[in-house]
Structure 1
Amino acid sequence: MSHPTFHEACVARRQLLTPGMVRLTFAGAGLAAFRSTGIGDEYVRLFFPDPASGELVLPEIDADGHWTFPAERERVRYATYTIRRFDARAGELDIDFVIHEGGLASSWAQAAAPGDRIVLNNPRGLYEPPADLGWQVLMADATGLPALARLLEQTPAHVESRIVIEVADRAHEQPLPPHPRAIVTWSHGTGNGLSASALDRQLAQIPRGDGVGYLWAAAEQKVARRIRTVARDLPAFEGVPCKAVAYWIAGAEKRAPGS
């Protein structure tokens, strides 16, 4: 199925990227009408069929984007994820899933096999740097790593990027797209539900760049809030636009922006 709001896709391939992340490549005729925003942190909602009955229930979405759920709201099974890659010519879309115990999407992704279907809606992106960007700071825990990698991939060569990523340990690091002006710092054993996040402390150590700056971060809800608060009080980030997004909530299922 495919129409202006929803697009059906099937698992074509799977790849274990690290012990903590699996990539599923989706394909199928239903992606023919899918249109990427082109924004590096664009996200979609994935709708899953009921594992027992195989029934897939979708909400109704009006022209203004408002959702209407059926009376049994729990029958609409969905989660929100960023798109790592979309190839319109090949008709393929990659989504990277953090592997963890419990959670609708992670459990589904760990068991997914070629041919398994999902439905996704139209994407939306949040990254919106100034037009004359000279430098940026990109920060993320494991859940924000796919979006951060795509953002770096799309960053113009002249833009200086300071990047901080926290993961469980060295085995969870991933090769990032090469960039001539990127400085990358990996933090091990912090955030990600393992211990206190180090992102706010790392932010305080980053000097101001030349020209117009931008701060983007994706992490647990309280961590994202803390980053916004810390940035407001740092002289290096005075007047710097900040987009710090909650990709999940401690104690709840992992999620991505807007869910």
Structure 2
Amino acid sequence: MLSVRFKGEALSDFISHSFDDHIKFIFPDSDGTPTRRDYTPTGYDKQRGELTLEFALHAQGAATEWARQAKVGMNAIIAGPRGSMVIPQNYDWHLLVGDLSALPAIHRRLQEFAPGTKALSVIEIAHADDIRAFDTRADVEPHWVKSADELLATVRNLALPAGEGYIWAAGETSTMKELRTLLTDEKRHPKDAMRVSAYWKHGAADFHEKLA
């Protein structure tokens, strides 16, 4: 992952109320064609007029190339977020699930939790280098896994804490659909206490879909 900080007067009134927010990052590709991608605002300093986005560095891809070549003076367009879904923190526990695409949102959520908040995370990563120490005051039980199958198995075998909890998950479409079924049919978790989103889909660009 590579963090890129954006600065400009146009960011002076930027607002992001939820870790689940996503903005449209619009940039020119190698041919100069405008390209759109969704990203989570991971940090905003109003006083400095600075916004931070995290880019996953893939082997190839327009956004990866842009991030690798980013330097002071380059222009980009940032649109949104259009709206925020604010999830209360006062649940007895929170479960955050996702792959690398969801890691920025998960990290932001953990940063925002009040001291002592009970949280569990299950995060799929391809490389051990992607494991990070979370900057959080919450009581976090992290689970790092290496595949979608392991992610599903870990959630299936997870002993959820007592009380009312909220589950947030995001990642690849087919994995998230399986996870949604697992949570509703096997875990019997209430649908009004979860949000499952598809952040990306194999073979599709600029993809985002709410599943539950």
Range into which the TM-score falls when normalised by the shorter chain: 0.7 to 0.9
* Residues 91-141 of structure 1 deviation map (CA, whole Å, 9 limit, x = unaligned): 111100001133222221122222111011121466543564111100111
Q: Unaligned 5+ residue runs, structure 1?
A: 1-20, 54-74, 192-196
3-state SS of 2:60 partner: coil
Counting aligned pairs with the same residue, the percent is: 27
Among 116, 130, 148, which residue is 1:172 paired with? 130
| 1:42–1:123 Cα contact (<8 Å) kept | yes
Output the CA distance in 1 between the equivalents of 2:59 and 2:207: 14
1:212 aligns to 2:170 (yes or no): no
Name the structure 1 match of 2:185: 233
Name the structure 2 match of 1:243: 195
| 1:214–1:242 Cα contact (<8 Å) kept | yes
Larger radius of gyration: 1
Among 18, 23, 26, which residue is 1:47 paired with? 26
Aligned AA (2:171): A
| 1:32–1:91 Cα contact (<8 Å) kept | yes
Output the CA distance in 2 between the equivalents of 1:254 and 1:93: 21
Output the CA distance in 2 between the equivalents of 1:111 and 1:41: 27
Structure (1 or 2) with the greater helix fraction: 2
Q: Unaligned 5+ residue runs, structure 2?
A: none
3-state SS of 1:143 partner: helix
1:101-120 residue pairs with structure 2 within 5 A? 101-120=59-78
Name the structure 2 match of 1:122: 80
Name the structure 2 match of 1:58: none
Which segment drifts farther, 99-108 or 145-154?
99-108
Name the structure 2 match of 1:162: 120
Aligned-pair RMSD on alpha carbons?
A: 2.3
| 1:42–1:83 Cα contact (<8 Å) kept | yes
Relative contact order, higher structure (CA 8 A, sep 6+): 1
- TM-score, structure 1 length as denominator? 0.73
Name the structure 2 match of 1:24: 4
How many angstroms does 1:30 deviate by? 1.6
Q: 1:124 to 1:182 in 2, by over 3 A?
A: farther
Aligned AA (1:209): P
- TM-score, structure 2 length as denominator? 0.88
Name the structure 2 match of 1:135: 93
Name the structure 2 match of 1:9: none
